[in-house]
Amino acid sequence: MVTLADLQVTRLGECTVASPLASYVGGRATNQYYVGEDDRILFDDTVELVRARGLSLDEMPSFETGGPRADIFFDPATTRVGIVTCGGLCPGLNDVIRALVLELHEHYGVNDVTGFRNGYAGLVPELGLTPIQLTPEFVQTIHERGGTVLGTSRGAQDVEVIVDTLQRRRIDILFVIGGDGSMRGAHRIAQEALRRDAGIAVVGVPKTIDNDIPHIGQSFGFQTAYSRAAQSIKAAKIEAEAAINGVGLVKVMGRHAGFIACYSAIANHDADFVLIPEVPFSLDGENGLLAHVRRTIAAQGHAVIVVAEGAGQEHLPDADDHDASGNKRLADIGRLLRERIGDDFAARGEEALFRYFDPGYFIRSVPADPADSVYCARLAQTAVHAGMAGRTDLVVGRRRHRFVHVPIAYVTHRTHGVSPDGDLWLSVLESTSQPLDMV
C-alpha cells in the first residue's frame, strides 16, 4: 500500500535563488484552479478511500504539486541543460522539446541547452553522436512534424559513462523524455549523480503511446494516437459493410495495455468487438470469439474487430525473443484472427472477406493534435519548474487535472492497464454490445 514516504521527491538542496517567475506565484493560495507551492495533492479522490486509510490528514499519501516556485535552486545565469529522447516514437516529442527550450530561454533566461542525439547512446562519447545546440530559433517550427529532431534509440548504456559525460559538459539538469524503460534509466542516472554529489537534477517527461505508466494521468501523444486509430476503425467499418461477410480487422498498439483499443472504439461506436491484453477470450466454443463473429455477421452482414497487439497471446506460440529494450517480441494476433475466422467460415462452405488495417507505425510518427500539443507544453513547463527548483529523480504528470511530481521509483514499480472491473471497460462493452465475457 502506498504511503506518504513513497511519494516524497528528492531535492538537491535548499532553494535560495530568487526565481524570475516569482511574480507569477506571489500571493497565490490554493484554490479551485491553482495549488499553492507548499500544498500537496491527495493520492485518494473519494471520501471512502480516505476513510479506509485511518490516517490523519498530515499522514495521508499525497503528491508534491508541480509549478513555478518563488525561489529556485539553480542560478539561471550559469545553468546548463541537456535533453534526450529515448525509446519508440510518439506524437508530441518535438512539442515537448520545443516547449522545454522556450520555457528555459524565455522565462528563466537559460540559454545553454544541449540536445543529446539518439537516446542514451548520445551520452556515450565513443559512439560518436555529436550533440545539438538547442536554441529558440532551432526549435521554432519542429512541432509541425512528427518524430523527434534528436533521434532516439532503445537499450541501456553505461550509467557511469553517462554521468561522466554530464559532469564533463557541466550539465546541471537533464530532461529525459521516454517510456518505462527510459525512466528506469533516468532513475539510475539520478542515483549515480546523487552518489557522486554531482548536483545534477534528472527530470522525466514520461512518454508512452500505450498510456501504460501509472500515476501520471494521461500520457502525451495518447489522444492523437487513439484519434488516428478511430479513423482506421471508421474505414474498416465502411469497407466491411461494402463486402459480403465483410470483416474489418484493426490492430492497434498496446503491448500490455488496451487503452488505445478502448478509446478508439468508444470514439465512434463502429466496433463490434474490442480485444485487449487485460481481458482474456476464447476462440472456440459457443461463447468463443469465432461463434460471436459468425452470429454478428449473420445478423448485420459484417463485423468490425479492434484488437490490441498484445491481446490473445495465450493463443499463439511463445516467441521467446526480446528487443533491445528487453521487451518480449509479440506474436501476430492479427494474422491469427484472420486465419481462424477465415477457416471457420470455410468450414461452413462460406468465405469471409477481410479488410485488415494495422496503423501502428503511422500513428506513432504523426504530429500531435492541438489538444496533445497543449498538454505537451504544460508538461514541459512543469518539468522546467521542477528542474530549476532542484528536484531530481522524478517525473511530471497530471493527477486528476493537477500537475504533480512523482518519484521515478514509484511510477516504474508496476505497469498501468485497463481494469476489467472499471468504468472504461464497461463503456467499451456498452459501445460495442459485445458479450460481457468470451471465456
> What pLDDT score does 250 carry?
97
Q: Any binding-site annotation on 309?
A: yes
Residue 14 has pLDDT above 90, yes or no: yes
CB 277 within 8 A of CB 308: yes
Question: How many beta carbons lie within 10 A of that of residue 350, not counting itself?
Answer: 13
CATH code, 5-220+368-399: 3.40.50.450
For 226-362+420-432, give the CATH class.
alpha beta
361 in a labelled binding site:
yes
Position 168 pLDDT exceeds 90:
yes
pLDDT score, position 242? 96
Rounded percentage of the chain residues whose pLDDT exceeds 90 = 84
* Bridge partners of residue 219, in order along the sequence: none
Q: What is the mean pLDDT of residues 284-306?
A: 96
Give the mean model confidence (pLDDT) for residues 325-351.
89
What per-residue confidence (pLDDT) applies to 61?
95
In this predicted structure, what is the pLDDT of residue 394? Answer: 97
Please determine, for residue 326, whether its predicted confidence score (pLDDT) is greater than 80. no
Instruction: Please check if 437 is assigned to a binding site.
Output: no
Whether residue 308 has pLDDT greater than 80: yes
- 357-382 pLDDT, tens digit per residue, is 998 888 888 999 999 999 999 999 99
pLDDT score for 319: 65
What does the pLDDT look like over 28-79, one tens digit per residue? Answer: 888 888 888 889 999 998 999 999 999 999 999 999 999 999 999 999 999 9
What type of residue sits at position 292? Answer: H
pLDDT surpassing 60 at residue 324? no
Judged against a pLDDT cut of 70, whether residue 3 lies above it is answered with yes
* Residue 323: predicted pLDDT: 60
* CATH 3.40.50.450 residue spans of the chain: 5-220+368-399
Query: Distance between CA 218 and CA 360 in Å, rounded?
Result: 19
Cα(250)–Cα(236) distance, rounded to whole angstroms? 7
Rounded Cα distance between 231 and 237, Å, is 10
CA distances to 181, 278, 360, 379 from 308, rounded to whole Å, are 21, 10, 10, 27
Residue 430 neighbours by CB under 8 Å, 6+ apart: none
Is 332 one of the annotated binding-site residues?
no
CB-based contacts of 312, cutoff 8 Å, min separation 6: 275, 281, 283, 333, 336, 337
Does 182 carry a binding-site annotation? Answer: yes
Is 128 a known ligand-binding residue?
Answer: no
**pLDDT (average), residues 330-342:** 94
Q: What's the CA gap between 219 and 221, in Å, rounded?
A: 6
Q: What is the pLDDT of residues 102-156, one digit of tens each?
A: 999 999 999 999 999 999 999 999 999 999 999 999 999 999 999 999 999 988 8
Q: What is the pLDDT of residues 222-251, one digit of tens each?
A: 999 999 999 999 999 999 999 999 999 999
| Structure-block grid coordinates of residue 267 | 470514439
pLDDT digits (tens, 9 = 90+) for 189-226: 999 999 999 999 999 999 988 888 888 888 999 999 99
Give pLDDT, residue 348: 93
Task: State the pLDDT confidence band at 329, using cuts at 50, 70 and 90.
Answer: confident
Where are any strands of DSSP class E within 258-311? 273-275, 302-308
Asked if residue 233 belongs to a known ligand binding site, the reply is: no
pLDDT tens for residues 174-194? 999 999 899 999 999 999 999
Check pLDDT > 90 for residue 312.
yes
Known binding residue 155? Answer is yes
Contact (CB, 8 A) for 248 and 297: no
Query: pTM score, two decimals?
Result: 0.93
pLDDT at residue number 135? 98
Q: Which residue ranges does the chain devote to CATH 3.40.50.460?
A: 226-362+420-432
For all residues of the chain together, what is the average pLDDT? 94
Q: Residue 98: pLDDT above 70?
A: yes
Q: Which residues are catalytic?
A: 210
At residue 32, the pLDDT reads 83
